[in-house]
Each structure stands twice: as structure tokens, then as C-alpha cells.
């Protein structure tokens, strides 16, 4: 089974270090959620996994091979990425956007073939958009548009899917729709999914593995029950939180409160003394 891991990563932009000496393993065949406050390095780590960013030091390995030593088309056949706020060109149809996922499999100077068409139709049917393939992407709802992008990554037929905030700007119903789709892809198609999420309760409910970042370093990593703790939530997000069990599926969930400021704590203590 494929193995994806990073060793002693140092990554940043120009002279700014975002991730420093980070080593992490992504469990194969599972859903991994990367969480953390804004600026903690979540998207930077995902982009480094996908070879969009080259680290200043350290390496990312896939099956023991350093990804920067892997030919681009070969890597694209094994790893797909959906960036934040992806936008389709004007008037592009659902089928045309999904077909972009087949480019790593096409031979030079050759167009699409029967295998490509089969994979594109399969991807659209899998995300529930088979009947909308002639519609333009920009005519769809936000949730449907996100499913088209996921269909494109599915058509790429890669064992690893990397998604940067796949539920951003979606209402609660569409967020759940996307998360249920990703869970089905993991279970039925054995996709290893790595995603950045802001919603901690969604992350804990749907992920098998969580990675919590702060200032470019790992504060906690492991199963949600071990990562989603009151201490982690304070250390990473600076919030006070009550952590409980989801009454339906048993996953950890939190209710967040603003963390007391230092002078508020002192004020409370003074009141108790008097």
C-alpha cells in the first residue's frame, strides 16, 4: 500500500519560515484532517505534500521515493489536489472540467480515448452529476460546483486525494454533502484523503486521523479522540472548550468559548478572595 510521509520539513515563502523541522506520517487508506488556526501552516503543508511548494530543507516521500525526484506525470497519476477557491473558466461544461483530470494519463500529441471517457463518466456518476454533464459549471450551486472539482480529481484516478478546505463557503447542508461523499470515496474506492478543514467538529466526525498545527509545528497527531482535547484546543486556537461525545456516532465534538484573558482571571481570583 502507498505510503506518504514527510521528514524534517522546513518550508516557507521567500525569507519567511512557515514550517520548521516537521516530520509526519499520513496513514494509508484513511481520511486525515489537518487543523489549526489561521497562519499555522495547514495549506503550506498540503501544498508541500503535493509538490506545489519545494521545501527549503527536508523531504516528502511517496512509497519511499522523494516526490521531487518523481516525474510530474507519474506523480499526477498517483496524487491529485484540489486547491482553495478553485475557479473554472467561463462557460466550461461539467464534463469538460472533469475531463481535465485525465491529462496525466494521455500520451503526448494524443487526445482522449475510450478509457478517458469511461473514467470521466464514472467520476461524474460517482459524485451524482451524471445528468448535468452538459451544464456549465458556473450555472451550478456551490455544492454542485465543489462536486465537479472532486469529480475532476476522481477522473485523475490517483490513490491520494489532497483537498484544501473542500467545505469552505458552503452552507451546513452542502458541507455535510461533501463530507459524506469523501467518506464514501474513502470506503468504496479506498482513496487516501488528506484535507485541510476549519470546522473541528466535521474533522473529528469524518477523519480517522487528525494533525493539529501551531506555528508550523505539530501539537498533536493521531485518532480524533486523542487529538480533540481541551488542552489542544487551548494550545492551538486559544479557546476554552467543552469536549463531549457526539450522541449519534460517538466521535468527539466541542463547544467553544472565548478563553479568559489573564486580567479576567486575576479579577475573578480577587473577587473570590474578597
Mean pLDDT of the chain: 90
**8 Å CB contact between 233 and 239:** yes
In this prediction, residue 109 has a pLDDT band, given cuts at 50, 70 and 90, of very low
What gap in Å lies between CA 145 and CA 166, rounded to an integer?
11
Residue by residue, DSSP assigns 151-172 as: HHHHHTT-SEEEEESTTTT--H
**8 Å CB contact between 85 and 166:** no
On the question of pLDDT at 269 being above 90, the answer is no
Domain boundaries, the chain: 1-78+160-237, 86-157
In this prediction, residue 111 has a pLDDT band, given cuts at 50, 70 and 90, of low
What gap in Å lies between CA 199 and CA 192, rounded to an integer?
20
Higher pLDDT, 270 or 90: 90
**8 Å CB contact between 168 and 138:** no
- Region of residue 11 (left: phi > 0; alpha: psi -120 to 50; beta: else): beta
The runs of H, that is alpha helices, within the chain are 42-49, 72-76, 94-99, 114-126, 142-155, 172-189, 200-206, 224-227, 230-237, 262-273
Residue 100's SS3 state is helix
CATH code for the domain defined by 1-78+160-237:
3.40.50.300
Task: Give the pLDDT confidence of 1-40 residue by residue, as tens digits.
Answer: 558 999 999 999 988 999 999 999 999 999 999 999 999 9
pTM for this one? 0.89
What gap in Å lies between CA 34 and CA 164, rounded to an integer?
9
Task: Give the pLDDT confidence of 185-232 residue by residue, as tens digits.
Answer: 999 999 999 999 999 999 999 999 999 999 999 999 999 999 999 999
DSSP-assigned beta bridge partners for residue 32: 194, 209
Question: Counting Cβ atoms within 10 Å, is residue 258 exposed (0-12), middle (13-18) or buried (19+)?
Answer: exposed
Amino acid at each position: 500500500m502507498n505510503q506518504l510521509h514527510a521528514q524534517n520539513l522546513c518550508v516557507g515563502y521567500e525569507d519567511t519560515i512557515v514550517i520548521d523541522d516537521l516530520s509526519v506520517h499520513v496513514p494509508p487508506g484513511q481520511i486525515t484532517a489537518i487543523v489549526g488556526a489561521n497562519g499555522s501552516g495547514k495549506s503550506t503543508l498540503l501544498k508541500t505534500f503535493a509538490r506545489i511548494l519545494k521545501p527549503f530543507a527536508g523531504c516528502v516521500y511517496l512509497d519511499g521515493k522523494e516526490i521531487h525526484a518523481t516525474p510530474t506525470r507519474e506523480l499526477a497519476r498517483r496524487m491529485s489536489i484540489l486547491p482553495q477557491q478553485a475557479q473554472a473558466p467561463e462557460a466550461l461544461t461539467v464534463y469538460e472540467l472533469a475531463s481535465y483530470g485525465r491529462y496525466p494519463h494521455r500520451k503526448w500529441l494524443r487526445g482522449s480515448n475510450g478509457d478517458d471517457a469511461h473514467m470521466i463518466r464514472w467520476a461524474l456518476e460517482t459524485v451524482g452529476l451524471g445528468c448535468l454533464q452538459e451544464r456549465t459549471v458556473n450555472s451550478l450551486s456551490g455544492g454542485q460546483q465543489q462536486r465537479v472539482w472532486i469529480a475532476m480529481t476522481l477522473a485523475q484516478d490517483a490513490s491520494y486525494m489532497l483537498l484544501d478546505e473542500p467545505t469552505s463557503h458552503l452552507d451546513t447542508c452542502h458541507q455535510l454533502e461533501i463530507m459524506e461523499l469523501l467518506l464514501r470515496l474513502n470506503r468504496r474506492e479506498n482513496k487516501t484523503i488528506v484535507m485541510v478543514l476549519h470546522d473541528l467538529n466535521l474533522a473529528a466526525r469524518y477523519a480517522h486521523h487528525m494533525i493539529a498545527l501551531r506555528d508550523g509545528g505539530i501539537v498533536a497527531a493521531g485518532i480524533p479522540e486523542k487529538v480533540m482535547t481541551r488542552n489542544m484546543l487551548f494550545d492551538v486556537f486559544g479557546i476554552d472548550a467543552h469536549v463531549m461525545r457526539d450522541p449519534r456516532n460517538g466521535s468527539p465534538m466541542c463547544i467553544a468559548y472565548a478563553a479568559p484573558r489573564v486580567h479576567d482571571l486575576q479579577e475573578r481570583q480577587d473577587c473570590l478572595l474578597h
